[in-house]
């Protein structure tokens, strides 16, 4: 069941999301799903792309799947952490936050409803792989990011006035394309509560 906590207005170039990410992975319980109704759209541009992280995982070489199945990664958002420290934007799931520490999530997330595996790292919020030297962590994450953004895994969506985009945050990564300079684009994002991500090592065979 979706629980609406607030409606966040995303307006033109003020709230840019032109980077690949999965929403709010820097929290211990990232969002389950998001809804994005189109309130005002430019004549052209303002598209959003999604990557299917289940298909991404299944296209990895079996040996790379096995490696990733046993890994975890740190996720963090320094701007939100600073806002929390300054006393702004510090209420999450009805609890007041006083500091934000990195969240640790499995690199491969098992979807709680389908039981299918999904790659669960993203360039915006994933800091590094746990217990891996920094250079090796960067190299592995770069390989995974190059893989997850390949065209065969990506769909591109252009909203029109009144349309509604809905996505499963547990099985996708997305990118809001900023190519509408001088145009008006307003979206109202509603985010639902989620569960702590669970990896293959935490689930029964």
Catalytic residue among 54, 128, 170, 174: 174
| pLDDT tens-digit series, residues 90-136 | 666 667 776 778 999 999 999 999 999 999 999 999 999 999 999 99
Number of domains in the chain: 1
| pLDDT tens-digit series, residues 153-205 | 999 988 888 888 999 999 999 998 887 777 777 877 888 889 999 999 886 55
Work out the pLDDT band at 12, boundaries 50, 70, 90.
Answer: low
Residue 205 in any domain: the answer is no
Is 147 designated active site? no
- Tell me which residue range forms the domain holding 65: 7-191
Residue 163 in any domain: the answer is yes
| pLDDT tens-digit series, residues 75-102 | 998 876 777 677 766 666 667 776 778 9
Is 16 designated active site? no
Residue 2 in any domain: the answer is no
Nearest Cα neighbor of 191 from 175, 163, 172, 168 is 168
94: left (phi over 0), alpha (psi -120 to 50) or beta: left
Is 174 designated active site? yes
Residue 53 in any domain: the answer is yes
Residue 16 in any domain: the answer is yes
Residue 67 in any domain: the answer is yes
CB 79 within 8 A of CB 46: no
Residue 29 in any domain: the answer is yes
Residue 1 in any domain: the answer is no
Is 156 designated active site? no
The domain that holds 172 is classified in CATH as: 3.60.130.10
């Amino acid at each position: 069941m979706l629980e609406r906590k607030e409606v966040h207005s995303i307006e033109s170039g003020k709230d840019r999301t032109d980077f690949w990410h999965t929403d709010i992975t820097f929290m211990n319980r990232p969002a389950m799903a998001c809804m994005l109704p189109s309130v005002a759209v430019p004549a052209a541009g303002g598209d959003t792309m999604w990557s299917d992280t289940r298909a991404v995982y299944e296209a990895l070489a079996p040996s790379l799947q096995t490696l990733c199945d046993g890994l975890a990664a740190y996720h963090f958002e320094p701007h939100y952490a600073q806002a929390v420290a300054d006393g702004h934007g510090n209420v999450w799931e009805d609890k007041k936050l006083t500091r934000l520490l990195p969240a640790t999530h499995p690199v491969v997330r098992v979807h709680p409803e389908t039981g299918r595996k999904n790659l669960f790292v993203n360039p915006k919020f994933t800091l590094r792989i746990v217990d891996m030297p920094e250079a090796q962590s960067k190299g592995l994450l770069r390989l995974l990011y190059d893989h997850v953004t390949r065209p065969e895994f990506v769909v591109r969506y252009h909203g029109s006035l009144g349309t509604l985009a809905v996505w499963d945050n547990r099985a996708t990564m997305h990118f809001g394309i900023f190519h509408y300079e001088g145009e008006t684009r307003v979206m109202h994002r509603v985010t639902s509560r989620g569960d702590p991500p669970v990896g293959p090592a935490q689930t029964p065979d």
